[in-house]
A and B are shown apart, each in its own frame.
Chain A
Amino acid sequence: MIHNQTMINQRPAPTNTIGPLAWLRANLFSGPINTLFTLIGLYVLYLLVVPTIQWAFINADWTGTTREDCSREGACWVFVKARFSQFMYGLYPRDEVWRANIVFAGFFALIAWLAIPRMPFKRWVAVLALVGFPVAAYVLLHGGYFDLPRVPTHRWGGLMLTLLLASVGMIGALPIGIVLALGRRSNMPIVKSFCVIFIEFWRGVPLITVLFMASVMLPLFLPSGISVDRLVRALIGLTLFQSAYMAEVIRGGLQAIPKGQEEAAAALGMTYWKRMGLIVMPQALKMMIPGIVNTFISLFKDTTLVMIIGLFDLLGIVQAALSDSNWLGFSIEGYVFAAFVFWIFCFSMSRYSQYLERKLNTGHKH
């Protein structure tokens, strides 16, 4: 039996199922209970948002230089303004701040170049970012070369220190994590047990303990006369700590890759490192972007813990500024500012990871 002699043409969907009005009705007012929830939600939002905006913008004080310029009805951003340069550079000498600015500019320019898909010469820029830039940044920030006055690391601080800790931590933790994850899956018992012990040790210890050990205990083990810079010790501790987490994230990704992938690569005659580097790892890393970025974000925020070994990152320097007797009572403004800066960076990372996921998706689910 033939039902239809002619093909049915495509027709548009009924108008009451598309468009913003239909969306509102389907999602916010689909029934009496949902309507009630929507209205309550809107009211709570109103209660929260209006005073916040009034405090942060409308009643806030923006101009002036001392606490007397603040009316105290809203936020006193004068405090943040007055201390802004400290929040950015810590105790970096004022006359040398231009050096930090160059490093900041280079840092953001390189990140933008690598993140924007249209830019050419990605490979060379990546090499520059990983090799050339760190050396140049060290020379500029630390000085002691080319007639630049030395600025010891204990004067580094603020956002500059936070970014330094975070980027060195990330760049160090990813490759170490990859090696550890591969080692943990290895058939070689010694390699495997070393990796398992390493990972479980670092994962089992709180980061604060690691930082304390790095700053207090490590010098005890070193031969006298040799001292490692406190910042370097913190960096090593942070990197090793995060690499253990990274290793477990990546191991999860490796386990999600079907065994057939490695077998197919092996059947083509690829060596272990080629199988891993060309076939398994690219797929695992892609799959693990959310997990890796999650680890990066927590690393970024964990950098605030270096405060307890006497390094002044962004949060540390804000807290130090709060105890200045000229500015007592402005802790809310200080913390809101610090939170806002952290949020900007973490949110950007999160958005970029979502973008990467979409871009790298080649429509496969094995």
Chain B
Amino acid sequence: MTQAATNSSDISTHDTSTDTSTPDLMVEMRGVNKWYGDFHVLRDIDFEVKRGERIVICGPSGSGKSTLIRCINHLEEHQQGEIVVGGVPLTQDVKRIEQIRRSVGMVFQHFNLFPHLSVLENCCIAPMWVQKKPRKEAEAQAMRYLERVKIAEQARKYPGQLSGGQQQRVAIARSLCMHPDIMLFDEPTSALDPEMIKEVLDVMVELANEGMTMLCVTHEMGFAKTVADRVIFMDQGQIIEENAPEPFFNNPQSERTQLFLSQILGH
């Protein structure tokens, strides 16, 4: 295991400088540990995301990948180590947490749209109440993003009237309306019927092509192959392997990665 970790840190810096103080570092995690009660869910996580990077995190369920990205916007609290997001160190300070959350978008497995608000209002509520944009401006912007995710014609409907794939695209638009510097995706397609996965992935690919910094927990290996700059494999709360997609899939280093890939790609 130690072997693999050392390997991975070598690989992770294969294409850029190792200087960690560049402002282009969007997320920086140093020695992050987290426990749920006695359960050690994140173990010595060292990890960074540069501006414009697209990273896919995969691994078996319960490996801590969701917890890892939820620590970045403090939906989960880490107990040890240091997390810096966009140059701002994450502490207990509520104001600072809110500042970080404004610049970090998040898309959830179960969409978590606000069911009492229309699609348009879902996209306007945070710009209006958090960024204090006037309603007109917020609505115009929301319509632009809804058009980008190809759902503008449903703007007046309520989330309950949309399909899962449509809801997830609205959720992406809702996040984009806050102009995030980085987008976190927490298994965005896992709750979707097969025929709806593609429409969501298409939106995500488009977003990636536009240069958005993305951190994506997913089992969509096709997406990882076409879009990711780096693929991270986690198991039992540790980062086991980290590599560019081509070597990651064709030549996985650790046994556990090989086993996982054979299980997920084997059938």
A and B together in one complex: yes
Query: Which A residues form the contact surface with B (CB < 8 A)?
Result: 258, 260-261, 263-272, 274, 278-279, 282-283, 286, 360, 362-366
Asked if B114 and A267 make an inter-chain contact with CB atoms under 8 angstroms apart, the answer reads no
- State A279–B174 Cα separation when bound (angstroms): 14
Asked if A269 and B126 make an inter-chain contact with CB atoms under 8 angstroms apart, the answer reads yes
Interface SS, A side:
helix
- State A110–B104 Cα separation when bound (angstroms): 45
Asked if B158 and A263 make an inter-chain contact with CB atoms under 8 angstroms apart, the answer reads no
Residue of A whose beta carbon sits closest to that of B130: A269
Residues of chain B from 67 to 111 with CB closer than 8 A to chain A in the complex = 73, 75, 94, 98-99, 101-102, 104-106, 108, 110
Asked if B158 and A364 make an inter-chain contact with CB atoms under 8 angstroms apart, the answer reads yes
Asked if A263 and B114 make an inter-chain contact with CB atoms under 8 angstroms apart, the answer reads no
Q: A267-B75, A267-B104, A271-B98 are in contact. Are A283 and B129 (CB under 8 A)?
A: no
Query: Which B residues form the contact surface with A (CB < 8 A)?
Result: 73, 75, 94, 98-99, 101-102, 104-106, 108, 110, 112-116, 125-126, 129-130, 158-161, 171, 174-175, 178
Q: A269-B102, A362-B116 are in contact. Are A264 and B158 (CB under 8 A)?
A: no
- State A208–B175 Cα separation when bound (angstroms): 53
Min CB distance, B72 to chain A, in Å?
Answer: 10
- State A360–B115 Cα separation when bound (angstroms): 11
When distances are taken between beta carbons in the complex, the residues of chain A under 8 Å from B73 are 266-267
- State A364–B175 Cα separation when bound (angstroms): 21
Asked if A264 and B129 make an inter-chain contact with CB atoms under 8 angstroms apart, the answer reads no
Most A CB contacts (10 A, CB to CB) among B94, B115, B160 go to B115
Most B CB contacts (10 A, CB to CB) among A263, A271, A360 go to A263
Min CB distance, B6 to chain A, in Å?
Answer: 34
> Besides A268-B175, A279-B125, 12 other CB < 8 A contacts?
A264-B171, A267-B175, A268-B126, A268-B130, A270-B98, A270-B129, A278-B125, A278-B129, A279-B114, A282-B116, A363-B160, A363-B161
Asked if A268 and B174 make an inter-chain contact with CB atoms under 8 angstroms apart, the answer reads yes
When distances are taken between beta carbons in the complex, the residues of chain B under 8 Å from A364 are 115-116, 158-160
User: Which of A266, A270, A283 touches B115 (beta carbons < 8 Å)?
Assistant: A283
Asked if A274 and B108 make an inter-chain contact with CB atoms under 8 angstroms apart, the answer reads no
Min CB distance, A254 to chain B, in Å?
Answer: 14
Residue of A whose beta carbon sits closest to that of B126: A268
- State A278–B117 Cα separation when bound (angstroms): 10
In the assembled complex, 26 residue pairs joining A and B whose CB atoms fall closer than 8 Å, in A order, are A260-B112, A261-B114, A263-B75, A263-B108, A264-B106, A264-B114, A267-B101, A267-B104, A267-B105, A267-B108, A267-B175, A268-B130, A268-B174, A268-B175, A269-B98, A270-B126, A270-B129, A271-B94, A278-B129, A283-B114, A360-B116, A363-B158, A363-B160, A363-B161, A364-B158, A366-B115
